[in-house]
Chains A and B, each alone.
Chain A
Amino acid sequence: MMRFLGPLAVFIITAVGAHWATLAYAPSVIMDRALATLKDRGVAEHAFTSPVRISPQTQVVVRSSPDMFYSLCRYDLSETGSSLSITMNEWSMYQSLTFFDAETNNYLTLRGTGKTISQTLYGPGTLGEGTKFGEYSPTKRGVILIRRLAPTPELFEAASEIGKGDRCELVTP
């Protein structure tokens, strides 16, 4: 009986370790693949990428909404002291600015119906005490998403025009 204890202990320890590691790293792996896919599809880094209107012929993601204007910006704040200057231009209908870190967490959402939203984003751990003039990203990499309600071709065209004023610019020291 005793001779099985060693193998049993090895099995339990490796199983628990692998179980925990899978859960812990799954979001990072999923987001890493998502960021690579976005890059392959032409989503720019440090700039919002103008979208095409969702239709049966243009859809690439499951359950995309044909009512929305989606604009994405990938970011990388690896450079010491760098930050991101973000502006979501004014839109009279619903719009929001959503920030996702490299572990898929939505760590900030700003609603901007009828107004312009400007936000500075810093890298993790770069804000000093009492200097919180912006938000900081929990991870160095991530993605920012603008959603604008634009349920008709005419409104989507207008949202595209407005989108030319959106900014997602890397600021280096």
Chain B
Amino acid sequence: MILRTLTYLIIALAGIGAGVASALYLSGLWSTKQPMEFGNVNVDGWVSDFAVGSKQASPYVRARVARHGLLAMAQSEAVYFVRGTDGDGERLSASCTYRLSGGALPADWWSITLYETSNSMLPMNEDQALSVDATSIVIEGEEGGTAWQAVIAPERPTDAPNWISSRNADSFDLLLRLYVPSDAVRNDPEATLNPPTIERLSCEGDAA
């Protein structure tokens, strides 16, 4: 009788363990993935998780968003896109210099901020060049134009008005925030958004 009870107890504990583990795994709470790797939108390499900030019925999505999108803005207020590779598909690195090129974006305001890949934190430097944004970006060419370029490098460039510092970042991601995005980009981002391109200009150790 005691053996039988013990057997059932062990089986019940195994069942509880399997239930908890499967729930954590299927909801993404037990995973080594970066939050944006759950993304369900990909626009030219810029990835977004449109479950964050939306009303989702699935309990799996609810649990994951609770963990990865805590205190996130509603989609009507902001959507986010992240990118960790350049135009050739190579990982973004502070040992390289890049040109970020873009134009008008479908939102009331936007910004692009650099974060370290390893911990998703701002790189520890005092350059005060963490991002470029719609307020401060210097537009190219004639008045009324929308095209802009920014250099991403660990040192301030001498010939570029827009700079994002990658000093002390090692490997990094860029996060594009669209504040008060247009309905069109919320409904069909692939057809509406024309995100910035990232061109690698040089890397440490390149042949002169």
Among residues of B, the one whose C-beta sits closest to the C-beta of A72 is B71
Indicate if the CB atoms of A7 and B136 lie closer than 8 Å.
Answer: no
Main secondary structure of the interface of A (DSSP, over half): mixed
In the complex, A55 has a CB within 8 A of chain B: yes
* Count of chain A residues with a beta carbon within 8 Å of a chain B beta carbon: 48
Main secondary structure of the interface of B (DSSP, over half): mixed
- Chain B interface category by residue count: 35 or more
Contacts of A36 in B (CB 8 A): none
Please report which residues of chain B, range 4-19, place their CB below 8 angstroms from some CB of chain A when the two chains form the complex.
7-8, 11-19
Indicate if the CB atoms of A66 and B131 lie closer than 8 Å.
Answer: yes
Indicate if the CB atoms of B111 and A151 lie closer than 8 Å.
Answer: yes
Question: Of B57-65, B96-104, B140-148, which binds chain A?
Answer: B57-65
In the complex, A26 has a CB within 8 A of chain B: yes
| 30 A-B interface contacts by CB (under 8 A) | A11-B11, A11-B12, A12-B15, A14-B16, A17-B16, A19-B22, A19-B23, A20-B19, A20-B23, A21-B19, A22-B20, A22-B63, A26-B29, A26-B66, A26-B67, A55-B130, A57-B126, A62-B121, A63-B121, A63-B175, A64-B122, A65-B177, A96-B77, A98-B74, A106-B53, A106-B74, A111-B77, A143-B71, A151-B135, A152-B135
